[in-house]
Structure formats: structure tokens, C-alpha cells
Structure 1
Amino acid sequence: MTEMRTKSWRTAAAIGLAAGLAVPAQAADIVWARYGDIDTLDPHRATSTLSLQVWSLIYDTLLAVDADGNPVPHVAKSWTSNEAGTEYTFSLQEGVMCHDGTPLDASDVKYTIDQAFSETTPSVTKGSWGPITGAEVVDPLTIKLTLDTPFVAMIPFLADSFSSIICDSNADAEGFGTTTAIGSGPWKLISWTKGDRIVLEKNADYTNFGKLADNPGAPYEDGLIIAVVPEPQARYAALTTGEVHIAEPPFDDVPAIKDSGDLNIIVAENTGQNVFWEFAAHRPPFNDKRARLAVAHATDAATAINLIYGDLSIPEMCPVSRGVFGNDQDFCAQYRPEYDPDKSRALLAELGYSDDNPLETALLVWTGGNRQKLGEVFQAQLAEVGIKASIEIMDIGSLNARVRQENENTEGTTGSMDMMTWSWYDPDILYALWHTPGAYRGYTSPELDAILDETRVLTDPDARKAKVQEAFRYLLENAIHVPLYTPGWEWVFAVRPEVEGFKVAPFVYPIFSDVKIGG
């Protein structure tokens, strides 16, 4: 009966929040409001950070990350590899339980990997698992992975929520990914009302072996409600009344919130996030490098970022974020096209564009985080050199689909570019984005493919770094991936004073196991 009462209150809370009504705070439940919703509860079917954050609460991973973002043991207490780097054997912790009461063992890991490499519905991040050719259950607590070739990015991948272990009991459960998600993480799924909220309750059987929480066991609070509240001012109002405990505040109000001391402000660090220009490169005008360079030279990222975000974000020179292997601001600054409006105008003139015949392009931007305002600043900068950019705002799922659609369209003369954002823990993200066929079917080339292939197999760190930076140079000199800022996004959290223990792990994973809500 206790469980039924808890669920009943959470349903009432959902109605109250959706209607903007005050709901009495319950000490046993944390309420976290975000600007948007997840795409799916299936870790093989999406790539958004909003989804990753929720997966990290419901599912476990073989490995975890330390405070510096390095992989450490978790569900896998240890692992070994052969000298060639083509076989990895993982020893699992005893006593890990799935939310339905079944033990999590090597069969669940094999099931997860088999699903990732499904012939009919492979994971959207299949390439990031690496060239795995087999997953063998040696015994219930031992799994051996065989690779076709060495893949140095596999170990950090196994600490990321893209590699979430999906309990094999999901195979027989109805509605996996929408109404069902059986994992072994610190929080159990109660319900997901798309576009409204996700309701979780603590996993009383949880043991933390490696994640960045001081609490070694189950979360302290009974429940966690993740509410979708798109409007920044509505989130702020709910924070001030206590209806919400944690939320992203309106960016423009962050200085005043800091000065008031009424709420605590936590800014995520080591986010792994890189915001950048990318272009529909298979049709005019951006199939010509000069057009892409014209945009890059017209963009004053430092001024735009400072105007919209102040010190909450910083300009980025590299195609991967600060804190990610290979990032070197001085190295990348040598090759990233500098802000130079005159050079931009000269390139446009070479292409036949003028004030009377401007280069026209759609500028795709996704909602939230003051990105629309930032897009308007960039739009004005482009207009100064004779580029007419029409801003289109959409949710992240629609943006991802639209970008691929634009890349697959080879006809017409109106360009398309987008302000894309990816978060990743390793430079292997560049392989996912730019190796043939590419995540969005955008720019690819045999030369770039060859460089990216080597970044995956070089086991010597210095040799790998040199090859990663060769990829940086190629992307920057050809204006394929034009970095704008990092850490970027809206990962600034306002936290009510009665909330203790909230923290954000590297790569923007909020940790709620330590949270206690005082009176």
C-alpha cells in the first residue's frame, strides 16, 4: 500500500506541475525540471544528452568515470586484454540485481551487445562500440569480447551511458523503450509521460561500485521526478516556490540569482560538449570549401558567446571539447579560420556573391539554452559580410532528422548550415561524425577516412594524439567542423538551499544518489 500511495502523490504532482499549480513538497521526492524531454528509454535508439542523463539513472555500465573523466571499474570489477588488443575479458561484481529482481550477469551484457549489433535494428552508436565480432559468456560473472582489430576507444565508451547494460528480461517485457526500462541503476522507472515527466523511485537493492557518488548504496530520497518545463521563467518560478528543487535557471538571471544567495548555482565542468557549425556539403554553396570558410571567417564566436553567456561558456578552437584527449587550444588556433570579415567578403566575391546577390542559407538551431538569441547574433554577423541566413528553431530530435535530410539533398542553390552540439568523452566522436557514411551523411572523404581509421587503432598515446590532431587540422582547414564554444549548452543548475549533496559528474551526468532534502 505504501508504494500505491507514493505513486498516487506523484501523479498528483505531475498534474500540478503541468498546470503550473503549487504542489506540496514531499521530503521523499526530488523534483528536477528540464527544458526538454528524452527521445527514448532505449539506449540504442538516441544520442541526445537529455536521454543520456536519464539512462545513467536507470541503467548501469561496465565501467564508470572518475572526477577527471577517466574510466574506472564499476559493474566490471576488473578487466584484461590480450597483447594484440583484440580480446577483452571482464570480471563482473557479484550481487548486482536488475530492477525486476533477476541477477545482472554476463548474459545481460551479451544481450546488450547483441542488440547493439542487431542486423535489423542496430544501435545508432554501433560504430562507437568498435569492431566487436563476438561476446562470449565464459561464466555468469565473466564476459569476453572479441574485436576484429584493436580499438582504443572501447574502454572509455564502456563508461558512458551509450553502453548502458540492458537487462535481458526487457526482451520479454512489453513496451521496452516507451513504458518499460529494466536496468540495475540507482533509480527504477515508474512511468514516462512523453512531453511531461519521468517518474522514478529509488532502487533499494542498489550498490554503487564506481560512480561519482559518496553514497555506496541506494539513493537517500525515495523518488525522483524529472519534469519537462520548457519556459525558463516557469522553471525559475517553480524553484522560488519550492515546487521544483533543481532546474536550469534563465541565463539572463544567473548573475542576479548568484548575488541574491537565494539559490545555489552549479555550473557543470568537463562537459565534453562542443558546439560547432556544420554544413550541407553535397550541394551549393557549401560543397565549395570557400563558402564554408566565408562563414567561418564571418563568425566572431568570442564576442557572441560573451554577449549571450558571459562567463558561463568559453570559445572553443578544437573539434573536441576541453578535457577530451587531444584538445590543445594553441595547436587548433593555428588552423581554425580566424575572424576576418574582409577575408570572408573576398571569398564570397570569388564565388560570385555580392550585396545584390547574397549567399542564402537556412540556419538551423535547436531550442533552449538561449541558443535562439545566440543564433540571432551570428545571423547579424553573417549579414555584415553579405550572407543572408534564415533562422529555423526546432527541438533536437527534429534538428537531427532535418540535418540528415539536408545532407541527402544534392539539388538546389539555397544552402543549409546548423549549430550542432555533441557531447563525447573521447575524440572518437569525430569518427562517428565524419567517417563514411557519417552520422548525418554529411561531408566525408577517403583522406579523412584514412586519418580517422588510424585514430582508433594506435595504442601509443603520443602517436594517437598526433593522428587525432591531424584530423583536427583537416577538419579546421577545410571548414568542415567549425568550433564555436565549450562547455556550452544550458548546463547551469539552480538548486534550492534545502537540497544537499547534488553534484554533476564529468560529461554532464547529474548525480542524485547523494541528495538529501532538508526542512
Structure 2
Amino acid sequence: MSVKKLGLALTASAILVGSATAATLNVAIDSSPAGLDPHLITAFNSVVIVQGNVYEGLTDIDAGLNVVPDLAASWEISPDNLSYTFKLHSGVTFHDGSAMDAEDVAASIRRVQAEATASPKAASVMPITGIEIIDPLTVKLSLDAPFAPILSSLATIAIVPAELEADVEALQQTPVGTGPFKFVEWLPNNEITLTKFDGYREAGLPKLDGVTFKFVPEASTRQVGLTSGDYGILPGIDPATALQLKAQPGVELYDTLNVSYTLLGMNVTREPLGNAKVREAINMLLNREEIIAGALFGAGVPGGPLSPALTGWALDTSEFACYTTNVDGAKALLAEAGIETPIKLSILVLPRQDARDISQVIQQQLVAGGIEVELVNKEIGEFVQDWRNSDFDMFVSANGGNPDPDQYFFRTFRSGGPTNVFKYANADMDALLDTGRTETDIAKRKEAYDAAQRTLACQGPVAHLAYGNLFTAVNAKVKGFEIYPTGRLTSLVNVSIDE
């Protein structure tokens, strides 16, 4: 095993912003990220900075939700679907100058699998039971049973230097990847600066000299900055902001059907939420059309457990009886469950305007059925910590979606899953999710996921609310931007700025 030295103290000259350096792009987001370790992060503001920009995986997901090669130039699958052999691109280096090879791939997968890492992505690589380094540019992954979504799952696993396999601290503040941009500095409550990685494996890319992510809490300030040219991109904006910017001169609005979703999560260890009839009653009290109209300005569709963008997988919400608002029916269910009202619960609210607006509408809707809700607002770091610790009755959030049902369902709804913060356990659901993960026949996988959706929609620990349009506002001088349904800013590698 080779030994490589890791230089974490990356330095660069200060990058000027605004008109002083036309090739540096300013991206305005609403708050500072909670961390930057690609194997630990879950919040949008963390993912949007590093995934695809600082870090890359063996595979990637393109704008059409197709699996494409990334650090892996190609791969071969054994006839029994139990081994995958990846051939890596040659000449790839990390931002510290060390070579990226099969050793780093193996260490990155082991790091995510390790219990000590406590990675929310662990389920994505859990079925990998063997890792063999054949040569510096070839790695073989072995499975005990077929793992149908392995190629799309690997797109979520960033490759990091092998020396950091056992370190769960360093990358949170100082990311080191192979992507088109390398980390320079993080000024708390101000900005994170990335600069062009001159050693990037694709000739002529990136086109920008750098990207600076500005933390701008006030929506009005972000909007004014976009129209004035101080900011080049406002990613993942809420529908209200999109509506306001649509008619502004010098602004281009990009949108696509989002695989991400808004949700009301329920902790089944907090009574009476452990009762499936109570969770079904909550679904029946919700009016999703009203939520979309009032909180998302009409920009969205009622959402089931899977995004309608996943046309081959998602069931239509008309199949879910609980999606028809029925206050009397909800009250009857609560009575049948032996629950006395009023019920007093709290909702932990993601610090984002659309989540705040959704929470207020839900608060009004639930009270009609005798459920009184207190809204709890915290900054993003506290929100993430409470979420990870299951320290909530309910929460309202916006979560990233995935092109394969396994990537969301298995880690979230299987007993003991790494993002099963709801503490949900259902043996029948476990069996369905195991089938969906190991079955390679598409029709049989769909049959399992159809059954899972029908259970989760009304009695699961998540009331899925809406899949909105994903909006990103771009200054007209910014060229080459492409919006991805996953919300990632992967296309920044091709972006340039007109003088």
C-alpha cells in the first residue's frame, strides 16, 4: 500500500469579487453550511457547495437522471451481478497534489461503511462486502447478493484521500477532493471561496477562475445583488423569490421538476405518533393543494413518496385515499385509535422561507382535527443536530431526491437505516425494501416499490407534501449554466461570465 502525504493547509492568493475579476462567480445562498465533509453532510447548503465542485464519485447522475462515468472511465459487471470492476481515469490528482488511485476509492467506501463515521450515506454502500485493489487504476467491488442500484448509489459517494479514512473531523472544515474547484477558505458567517483547480483532469475546464459562495440571509438582498451583478447565481430559490425575479431584466430563470420534496416527518417514539392510525389521520388533515398554493405560490404538485419526475417508479397520488382532505374521517380515526384531543405536538422547522410558510399552513390545518402545534425555529446547525439525534416530535424540511427509489427508501424507512431518524420499524416494509434492493428484474423491483409506496403514503413516518419546481436564478452574463433535478451545481465546471 502506498503512502501519500496529505497537505490540508491549502492556500491561495485572495480572490477578488464582483466586477474586479469577471471570471470569478459569486453564488448567494441563505446561510453558512453546517459542514463540508461529503460523507456526513445532508443540508442543501453543504451539498450545493462541494458535491460536483470540490468532490467527484466513481459515477455521476446527469441532468436527465442517467448514470454516467465520472472518476471511473468504465466498468465491467460479472454475469451473476455480484462483482463490478471499475477502471479509473489516469492522471487524476487531489487538490493537495497527490495522485488519486484505487487505494483512495477503497478507503472512501470503507469510510462511509464504518460505524465510527456514522455516515448518512452508509446504506448506499452497505451491500459491498469485498473491495479488491487489482492495480492502481483498477478496483473490484464484490457483493453477497445483487445490488440493483449500485451504479447510481456510487454517484453519491465522494472519493477522498485514503489518509482521511479514520478522520471524521478534517473534511468538515477543509475539503480535499478531485473536482474542478479546490477549497481556499471559509470565513464564518461571510463566505466560502473555491478557486480553479489547475490540475483538473479535463483539459480547458473549469472555465471560471473561481467560485465564491456568499452567505446572504436576507432574500431581498440576494435578489438586488443578482440584478445588479454582484451575484451570478441564486440556487434553489423558493417559488416566491422566483416569481419576483421572473420579470426582472438581466435575469434568467431556470426550472425543472424537482426530485427533492417537502415533507412533514414524524418521530414514532413520541406519542401518539407511534400509532399508524394517528399518522394516517394527520395525512387526512393536510390539504396539499392549499399548501402548494399558499406556501409554494402554486409552483408544485402534491407529492407521494416518490417524485413524479421518476416516471418509471412513482405512483400517482390518486392511489392514496388519505390524500383527500377529510377532517371528519381524521377525527374518526383518532377516536378509533383511542386518542383524546387536543393533542399537543411541536414541529421543528427547517430555517428556509418555504419551510416556514409550509409549517404555518400545516399548523392551521392540523388544529381542525384537534392537533395543536407549536412551531420551533432554530438555525441550520441546531436543526441538523436535532434531526440527527431524533430530537423532535415532527419536523418540516425539504430533502434531496434520488434517481433510484432504493437511495431514499432503504436508508430512510428500513429498520435501523442511517437516516431513519423517525425510528420507524416495519418488518413487511423491510422485506419490500430488501427485495427492491436485491432484485435485478425491473418489473419485480417496481412491484416491491409500488407496495412500499402504498404503505408509506398514509401510514409511514413521513407525510410527503409536494414536489415543487426547482428554480435557480442566473444573471444574464453567466453562460453555460444547466439546471439539474438533483439541485447540484454540477454545471459550474462549464460556466463562464461575459464581460
TM-score normalized by structure 2?
0.89
State yes or no: 1:496 paired with 2:468.
no
State which of 433, 451, 454 in structure 2 corresponds to 1:470. Answer: 451
- Tell whether 2:247 aligns with 1:259: yes
Q: How does 1:35-54 map onto structure 2 within 5 Å?
A: 35-53=30-48, 54=50
Q: Residues 176 and 6 of structure 1: is their aligned pair in 2 closer, same or farther, counting only changes over 3 Å?
A: closer
Which residue number in structure 2 is paired with residue 278 of structure 1?
265
- Given the alignment of the two structures, is residue 346 of structure 1 paired with residue 325 of structure 2, yes or no? no
Cα deviation 1:473-512 (Å, max 9, x = unaligned)? 1212424332110136xx4222112111122223111121
Deviations 1:340-394 (A, max 9, x none): 122122223445667xx41111022201142212211111111222221111122
1:152 corresponds to which of 130, 148, 152: 148
Q: Percent identity?
A: 28
Q: Please state how far the C-alpha of 1:189 moved relative to its aligned partner.
A: 0.8
Q: Equivalent residue of 2:279, what SS?
A: helix
Amino acid at match of 1:418: F
Aligned residue among 74, 89, 95 for 2:91: 95
* Cα distance between partner residues in 1 of 2:189 and 2:88: 37
Q: Tell me, yes or no, if structure 1 residue 300 matches structure 2 residue 287.
A: yes
Letter in 1 for 2:261: N
- Distance in 2, matches of 1:517 and 1:471, equals 46
Deviations 1:438-470 (A, max 9, x none): 321521122211111111100001110110111
Residues 120 and 289 of structure 1, relative CA distance in 2, 3 Å threshold: closer
Whether the 8 Å contact between 1:64 and 1:159 is mirrored in structure 2 is yes
Tell me if structure 1 keeps the 8 A contact 2:472–2:483.
no
Take 1:326 and 1:397, find their aligned partners in 2: how far apart are those partners?
36
Report what 2:160 is aligned to.
Answer: 166
- In the alignment, which of 410, 414, 417 is matched to residue 394 of structure 2? 417
1:20 match = none
Name the structure 1 match of 2:345.
361
User: What is the CA-CA distance between 1:326 and the residue it aligns to?
Assistant: 5.0
C-alpha distance in structure 2 between counterparts of 1:441 and 1:254, whole Å: 32
**Which residue does the alignment assign to 1:176?**
170
- Post-superposition offset of 1:207: 3.2
| Structure 1 residue 332: Cα displacement | 6.1
* Alpha-carbon shift at residue 404 of structure 1 (Å): 5.0
1:29 counterpart (24, 31, 35): 24
Return the letter of the residue paired with 1:176.
Answer: A
State the partner residue of 2:220.
233
The CA deviation string for residues 157-199 of structure 1, in whole angstroms up to 9 with x for no partner, is: 1123xx0111235569997214432211110111123433210
User: What is the distance in 1 between the residues matched to 2:81 and 2:423?
Assistant: 31
Q: Which runs of 5+ in 2 are unaligned?
A: 1-9
Say whether the 8 Å CA contact 2:261–2:464 is kept in structure 1.
Answer: yes
Q: 2:239 and 2:58 mapped to 1: Cα distance? A: 36
Q: Deviations over 1:273-299 (max 9, x none)?
A: 122222121242112222212211110
What is the CA-CA distance between 1:201 and the residue it aligns to?
A: 0.6
Contact 1:65 1:159 in 2 (8 A): yes
Q: 1:296-350 CA deviation, whole Å, 9 max, x = no partner?
A: 111001121122222432221x212223375334376345442112212222344
CA positional deviation for 1:37: 2.7
1:458 and 2:444 are equivalent in the alignment? no
In the TM superposition, what is the alpha-carbon distance from 1:131 to its structure 2 partner? 1.5
Tell whether 2:414 aligns with 1:435. yes
The amino acid that maps onto 1:180 is T
- Paired residues, what number? 483
Q: Distance in 2 between matches of 1:50 and 1:444?
A: 30
The answer to whether the aligner puts 1:131 opposite 2:110 as a matched pair is: no
Is 1:386 the counterpart of 2:370 in the alignment? yes
Q: Distance in 2 between matches of 1:253 and 1:67?
A: 23
Shift of the alpha carbon at 1:241? 2.8
Whether the aligned pair in 1 keeps the contact of 2:422 and 2:461 (CA below 8 Å) is no
Partners of 2:53 and 2:493 within 8 A in 1: no
Q: 1:34 to 1:458 in 2, by over 3 A?
A: same
Q: Which amino acid aligns with 2:140?
A: K
- Equivalent residue number for residue 211 of structure 1: none
Bigger Cα displacement from structure 2, 453-462 vs 371-380? 371-380
TM-score using structure 1 length:
0.86
Gaps of 5+ in 1: 14-22, 209-215, 410-415
String of CA shifts for 1:12-48, please: whole Å, max 9, x gaps. x5xxxxxxxxx65420210001112323222122222
CA distance in 1, matches of 2:72, 2:457: 38
Q: State the SS of the aligned residue for 1:37.
A: coil
CA shift, 1:253, in A, is 4.4
* Farther off after superposition, 258-267 or 114-123: 114-123
- Partners of 2:264 and 2:76 in 1: CA distance: 40
Match status 1:399 vs 2:398: no
Q: Which residue of 1 aligns with 2:4?
A: none
**1:513 corresponds to which of 490, 493, 496:** 493
CA distance in 2, matches of 1:178, 1:515: 26
* Counterpart in the other structure of 1:8: 14
Distance 2:363 2:317 in 1: 28
Determine the C-alpha separation between the residues in 1 that align with 2:493 and 2:456. 40
2:374 is aligned with what amino acid? S
1:325 and 1:250 mapped to 2: Cα distance? Answer: 24
CA shift for structure 1 position 117: 2.5
Among 62, 65, 79, the residue aligned to 2:61: 65
Q: Which amino acid aligns with 1:8?
A: A
- Choose the corresponding residue for 2:430, options 441, 449, 455: 449
CA distance in 2, matches of 1:369, 1:47: 18
Contact 1:326 1:468 in 2 (8 A): no
Q: Separation in 1 of the partners of 2:292 and 2:324?
A: 15
Shift of 1:82: 1.8
Using the alignment, how far apart are the partners of 1:202 and 1:322 within structure 2?
Answer: 36
Partner deviation per Cα, 1:48-75 (whole Å, 9 max, x = no partner) = 2322222320112111223321111222
Structure 2 Cα separation of the partners of residues 122 and 479 of structure 1: 24
Aligned partners of 1:263, 1:107: CA distance in 2, in Å?
45
Choose 46-55 or 504-513, whichever is displaced more. Answer: 46-55
Corresponding residue SS for 1:254? helix
Output the CA distance in 2 between the equivalents of 1:187 and 1:394. Answer: 31
Would you say 1:324 and 2:304 are equivalent positions? no
Conserved in 1, the CA contact under 8 Å of 2:302 and 2:317? no
Preserved CA contact (<8 Å) 1:300 1:381:
yes
